[in-house]
Amino acid sequence: MKQKGINQYLVIIIVLLLGLILLNTFQNREDDYTRAGLIQDMEAGRVREVLIHPNGEAPTGYLEITFTTGEEKTLYATDITELEALVRAHGIEPQVLDIQRENWFLTDMLPILVVVIAGVFIFVMMSAQSSNGGGNSKMMNFGKSRARLSMGEGRITLKDVAGLQEEKEELEEIIDFLKDPGKFTRVGARIPKGVLLEGPPGTGKTLLAKAVAGEANVPFFSISGSDFVEMFVGVGASRVRDLFLDAKKHAPCIVFIDEIDAVARRRGTGMGGGHDEREQTLNQLLVEMDGFGVNEGIIVMAATNRVDILDPAILRPGRFDRKIAVNTPDVGGREEILKVHAKNKPLGDDVNLRQIAQTTAGFTGADLENLLNEAAINAAKDGRAYVEQEDIKKSFVKVGIGTEKKSRIISDEEKKITAYHEAGHAILFHVLPNVGPVYTVSIIPTGSGAAGYTMPLPEKDEMFLTKGKMKQDIMVSLGGRIAEEIIFDDITTGASSDIKKATKVARKMVTRFGMSENIGVINYDDDGDEVFIGRDLAHPRSHSEAVAGEIDKEVKSIIDECYTKAKEIILENEGVLHKAAALLLQKEKITGEEFAALF
C-alpha cells in the first residue's frame, strides 16, 4: 500500500515539473514577434530602445525591444550581429550587453523548482494528514481498516521465539502452506483458515504470529480487537471489510487479530439489548471468514487470553478451528528465553542462566525479558559494561515484587511486627514439604505497599495442585498472622491480603475442585467472570442459599484446620521464630541459607 502511494507522488511530481517547464518555455517564446515585425515597427517610429542580449553561444541571442508606448517585446535571434546592423540601419543605437554566460539553471529553473517543491510539499502534507486521520479528513477515513502491514526487513522468525516447541510444531504446516499454497491445493488438502492462540499475557502469542509471517515471508496484517471497537455504529464492521479486502490483494498473507476477545465476546450478553456495535463487527468478521475459500492463501490468526468468553460461533469449523494453547514456559523454556534475551547483553562469568530459570517458575517470556532488562539497567547504573548475577537477583525482586523502598521510614515497633510476621511465613515454608524452600525473607517495604515479603524458591513446575499442597499454601498464608498473635497481645491489619489469599484457595478447593467431602465433587464455581453484568442478571446463582451456607461452612472448616496445624508448627519452632526475627531486624534481609541455618 505504501509503495503504491510513493509511486503516485512521483508521477504527480514529474507531471507538475514537465508542465511548468513547458509553460515557462511557451511564455518566453510565445509572442510571435518577428524580424519583419521589428522592421515594420522601426519604420513606423514605434521603437524607442533596443537592448541586445548575446548568448553564451554567439552569435545567438535575443533583442529586448521597448516601444514608445512603454510596451516591451522580445525577439529571439540566431544571428544578433545581423540584427544589430539592421537596427542601426534604422537609426536606432542599440545597447549591446556583455555576453552573459547566463546560468540557465539559476535564472530559469530555480523559480520553477521552488514553485514545484512548495506545491509538492503542500500536497504531501495534505495527503499525509488525511491518511493519519488527523484534522477534518478523519471523517473520510473512518471506515478504513487500521491494520498495519509489515513485511520484509528485520523480520522475526521462529528462531526468535524460544521454547514453545509444541506450539511451533503445530504452526509448521501453516508456514509450509503460506510458502507454497499450491503444494497443498494440488492434493486437495484443506488448511485451517483460522488459528487461535490462547494463553496468558506475555507468553509470546503476538511474537509467535509475527514469526509465522516472517518464517513464511508473507505480508502480516495486524490489528488489535480494540481498534475495531469505536463509538460509531458500523465503523467496526466496515473496518473488518476493508481489512479483508486488503488481505485478499496480498494473499498469501496473515491477518492477525490481537485481543480478539474485544470483538468476539459471546453475543447477546450486553445490557442494552442485542444489536450493538461489537456484535455487528463480530458478524462481519464471521461473514468475511466464511467468505473466502479454504485455500485462498489467507490465514487468520488471533490471540486471546480469555478463550472462555469468546463467542462459540467463532470456534466453529471453517473459522478458528485450530486452537493452540500458548503456556507459560517450563524450566527449559525459561532458560532458552533468557538466552535469547541475553544475546545482546554481555554477561559476567558468574551469571548462571540455568539457575535463574529454576527460580522463576510462573514467569512469562515478557517477565523474563523484563528481568534481564532491569538487570542491564542495574549494571549500567553501576557503570559496568556487563551484567552480573547480582544485577539479575536485584531485578528479580523488582520484577516480582516491585522496587524495594529502602527510604521509607518505619517505626521500630512496625519493623518488629513485620519481622515476626515474615518469620512466621518462612518457618512454614521451611517445615512444610510441598512448599518452599525459602529464597529470601525481607522486611524492606516494597513498591507495591507490602511491609516485607517471604519469597519461596519454586522447586518444580506443577501440572496439578494436590489437596495437600493447597492446604499447605493456606497454612503458609496464615503463618504471618499466627506469629503476630503468639508474640504480641494485639494483632494488626497487615495480614489482610494473606487472609484473603487463604480464603480464596479454600473456596476454590470446595467449589471448583470438589475437595470437600460434605459438598462433594460438584462445581459451584461461577468462574468469577463478572464480565457480563447482563448475563449475571439473567442467570441466577446456580445453587441454592442452603448450598451457599454449606459452602461457607466447609471453607471455614478448612481454614480452621489449617490454622490449628500451622499454629502447632510455629509454636514447635518458637526458638527459630525469635532468632529469625532478630536476624531480620539486624540485617533487614536474609537469604534462604541463612534462614535454614537457624534450625
| Active site residues per annotation | 422
Strand 194-198 to strand 148-150: parallel, antiparallel, or no bridges (unpaired)?
Answer: unpaired
369 contributes a contact to ligand ADP by CB under 6 A? yes
Residue 256 three-state SS? strand
Binding at 202: pick from Mg ion, Zn ion, ligand ADP, none (beta carbon under 5-8 Å per type): ligand ADP
Closest among 365, 147, 330 to 256, alpha carbons compared: 147
Is residue 364 a contact point for Mg ion (CB under 5 A)?
Answer: no
> Contacting ligand ADP (CB under 6 A), which of 20, 158, 366, 531?
366
Query: According to CB under 6 A, which one of 80, 223, 301, 340 is a site residue for ligand ADP?
Result: 340
Residues 6 or more apart in contact with residue 319 via CB below 8 angstroms: 193, 194, 286, 289, 290, 313
Measured from the Cβ of residue 88, the count of other Cβ atoms closer than 10 Å reads 12
Q: Grid coordinates representing 474?
A: 493456606
Residues 421-480 that bind Zn ion (CB under 5 A): 480
Stretch that binds Mg ion, among 204-212, 359-367, 461-469, 552-560 (CB under 5 A): 204-212
Chosen from Zn ion, ligand ADP, Mg ion, none, partner binding at 498 (C-beta under 5 to 8 Å by type): Zn ion
Instruction: State the Cα–Cα distance between residues 408 and 443, nearest whole angstrom.
Output: 12
Residues 6 or more apart whose Cβ sits within 8 Å of residue 100: 53, 54, 55, 56
Nearer to Zn ion, 239 or 415 (CB): 415
Given Zn ion, ligand ADP, Mg ion, none, residue 259, with its beta carbon under 5 to 8 Å by kind, binds none
The partner residues of 72 in beta bridges, in order of sequence, read 66
Candidates 100-108, 161-169, 387-395, 423-431 — which segment interacts with ligand ADP by CB under 6 A?
A: 161-169
Output the 3-class SS for 497-526. HHHHHHHHHHHHHHHCCCCCCCCCCCCCCC
CA dihedral 23, 26, 31, 32 (to 10 degrees): -160
Q: Which stretch binds ligand ADP (CB under 6 A): 195-203, 275-283, 484-492, 588-596?
A: 195-203
Nearer CB in complex with Mg ion: 206/440: 206
Does residue 225 belong to the site contacting Zn ion (CB under 5 A)? no
Stretch that binds ligand ADP, among 178-186, 204-212, 272-280, 437-445 (CB under 6 A): 204-212
Half-sphere exposure of 534 (CA within 13 A, CB side): 10
Query: Which segment (205-213, 518-526, 530-538, 560-568) binds ligand ADP by CB under 6 A?
Result: 205-213
CA dist 456 and 598 (Å) reads 17
Q: Among 365, 424, 436, 458, which residue interacts with ligand ADP (rule: CB under 6 A)?
A: 365
Task: For the CB of residue 259, give the shortest distance to Mg ion in the complex, in Å.
Answer: 7
Q: Verify binding: residue 206, Mg ion, rule CB under 5 A.
A: yes
- Are 447 and 402 in contact, with CB atoms under 8 Å apart? yes
Distance CA 363, CA 355 (A): 14
Min. distance of Cβ 548 from Mg ion in angstroms?
A: 38
User: According to the 3-state scheme, what is the secondary structure of 119-148?
Assistant: HHHHHHHHHHHHHHCCHHHHHHHCCCCCCE
Q: Distance (Å, rounded) from C-alpha 550 to C-alpha 544?
A: 10
Closer residue to ligand ADP, CB minimum distance, 222 or 440: 222
The verdict on 195 binding ligand ADP (CB under 6 A) reads no
Which among 343, 177, 193, 196 is positioned nearest to 260, based on CA atoms? 196
Q: Least distance to Zn ion from the beta carbon of 297, Å? A: 56
- Quick one: CA dihedral 384, 390, 392, 397, positive or negative? negative
Q: How many residues bind Zn ion (CB under 5 A)?
A: 2
Task: Check: CB of residue 495 under 8 Å from CB of residue 516.
Answer: no
Site string for ligand ADP, 290-329 (x = CB under 6 A): -------------x--------------------------
Q: Which residue is nearest to Zn ion (CB)?
A: 480
Angle 574-587/412-431 helices, nearest 10 degrees? Answer: 130
Phi first, then psi: give them for residue 197, nearest 5 degrees: -95, 130
Q: Which of 77, 80, 83, 162 binds ligand ADP (CB under 6 A)?
A: 162
281 binds, among ligand ADP, Mg ion, Zn ion, none (CB under 5 to 8 A by kind): none
498 binding Zn ion? (CB under 5 A): yes
* Window of 183-191, 198-206, 239-247, 292-300 that interacts with ligand ADP by CB under 6 A: 198-206
Positions 477 through 496 that interact with Zn ion (CB under 5 A): 480
Q: Which of 111, 182, 201, 291 lies at the binding interface for ligand ADP (CB under 6 A)?
A: 201
User: Minimum distance from CB of 484 to Zn ion (Å)?
Assistant: 9
d(CA 401, CA 163): 25
User: Footprint of Zn ion on this chain (CB under 5 A)?
Assistant: 480, 498
User: Footprint of ligand ADP on this chain (CB under 6 A)?
Assistant: 161-164, 201-207, 303, 337, 340, 365-366, 369
User: Footprint of Mg ion on this chain (CB under 5 A)?
Assistant: 206
